[in-house]
Structure 1
Amino acid sequence: MHKHDELLIALRKVIRAIDLHSKQLERTAGLTGPQLMIMRSISRFDGAMVRELADVNNLSPATVTSILDRLEIKGLISRERSSQDRRRVGVMLTEAGKALLAKAPQPLQEHFTRCFDELKDWEQSQLVSAMQRLADMMNAQDLDASPILDVQGLNPD
């Protein structure tokens, strides 16, 4: 087998692992990876504004707003205007949102991050460099991406 075939197989395995985890999350919790990440951020920063959630998750405010719209329809979050500044709208988990979050599986990137952090610094640098090179080889260097491991789109539906 050629080296490029071995690399393509490894890439396919990564894509498959992300896909399988996303489908399992959707089946067990009824959430996408980005929705789960936003809910976890809301639980840490109760009353956070859209801009803060976007910054913490490396997403655009428009993407976060779309995710929040879907979570609100499901009854998992609520939005409340500030009594001091009516322009500010904070986001909170509802009781249903807290209950769902408590039983939701761990996001794939949290497991990945924990394993990555256990590597030696030179191993981390080598992986980052190899993946950046790979992205360049696939003409993906200019694609917008966030650190959320999910094959489902982050685009508003």
Structure 2
Amino acid sequence: MHSKKLAKDSGLTAPQLLVLQCVAGDKRAKPSDIARQVHLSQATITSIVDRLVRAGLVVRERNEHDRRSLEVVITDEGKRRLVDAPELLQEGFLSAFDNLADWEKSLLVSSMQKIAFMMHADNLDAAPILEVGDINDSGA
């Protein structure tokens, strides 16, 4: 499975890598903004950031304009791990999707919208099905 290879190669879970990419792209990010960008709950982001902080890949810093607000900042080690990490599965998908003919893209998008509607996907939170713990931890 791709997620196990990702964890083996980088030591990161897919959600952890997504959060690292989000923070690296913005330089500094509020947890609420990260949650919005990666479509996970605030509680899930807090758990992921906690693990990334313990691993030395990000730090939490006070916002210089609003001392009540915390921001997540990627460390040099986090940047290094991000560079060394394998490509996420969805990045390969997006590349392949871009190469499809317009009619093929429309057909796939229409089918996925129908499936999402049938599953009432607008009411689902992806966070409960994500394993955010240490990939090697058998108790997670």
* TM-score, length basis structure 2: 0.81
Shift of 1:154: 4.9
Which amino acid counterpart does residue 111 of structure 1 have in structure 2? G
Instruction: Tell me the distance in 2 between the aligned counterparts of 1:91 and 1:124.
Output: 36
Which amino acid counterpart does residue 119 of structure 2 have in structure 1? A
Which amino acid counterpart does residue 78 of structure 1 have in structure 2? V
Q: What is the Cα-based RMSD across aligned positions, in Å?
A: 2.2
| Alignment deviations for residues 70-122 of structure 1 (CA, whole Å, 9 cap, x no partner) | 11111111010123311111111112111111100011111111211222232
Shift of 1:155: 6.0
| Structure 2 equivalent of residue 64 of structure 1 | 45
1:153 to 130, 133, 139: 130
Instruction: Tell me the distance in 2 between the aligned counterparts of 1:109 and 1:145.
Output: 19
Preserved contact between residue 63 and residue 154 of structure 1 (Cα < 8 Å):
no
| Structure 1 equivalent of residue 137 of structure 2 | none
Q: Which runs of 5+ in 2 are unaligned?
A: 134-139
Does structure 1 residue 144 correspond to structure 2 residue 124? Answer: yes
Does structure 1 residue 29 correspond to structure 2 residue 10? Answer: yes
| Alignment deviations for residues 119-155 of structure 1 (CA, whole Å, 9 cap, x no partner) | 223211211222344456xx63346255xxxxx7156
**Matched residue SS, 1:96:** helix
Preserved contact between residue 77 and residue 94 of structure 1 (Cα < 8 Å):
yes
Count the aligned residue pairs: 131
| Alignment deviations for residues 5-46 of structure 1 (CA, whole Å, 9 cap, x no partner) | xxxxxxxxxxxxxxx110000101111111101101111101
* Rg larger for: 1
2:83 to 83, 91, 102: 102
Which amino acid counterpart does residue 140 of structure 1 have in structure 2? M
Q: Which runs of 5+ in 1 are unaligned?
A: 1-19, 147-151
Identical-pair percentage: 41
| Structure 1 equivalent of residue 29 of structure 2 | 48
Q: Which moved more, 1:88-97 or 1:127-136?
A: 127-136
Which amino acid counterpart does residue 63 of structure 1 have in structure 2? T
Shift of 1:53: 1.0
Evaluate the alpha carbon distance shift between residue 70 and residue 110 of structure 1 in structure 2; reply closer, same or farther with a 3 A threshold: same
Which amino acid counterpart does residue 36 of structure 1 have in structure 2? L
**Matched residue SS, 1:124:** helix
Shift of 1:61: 1.7
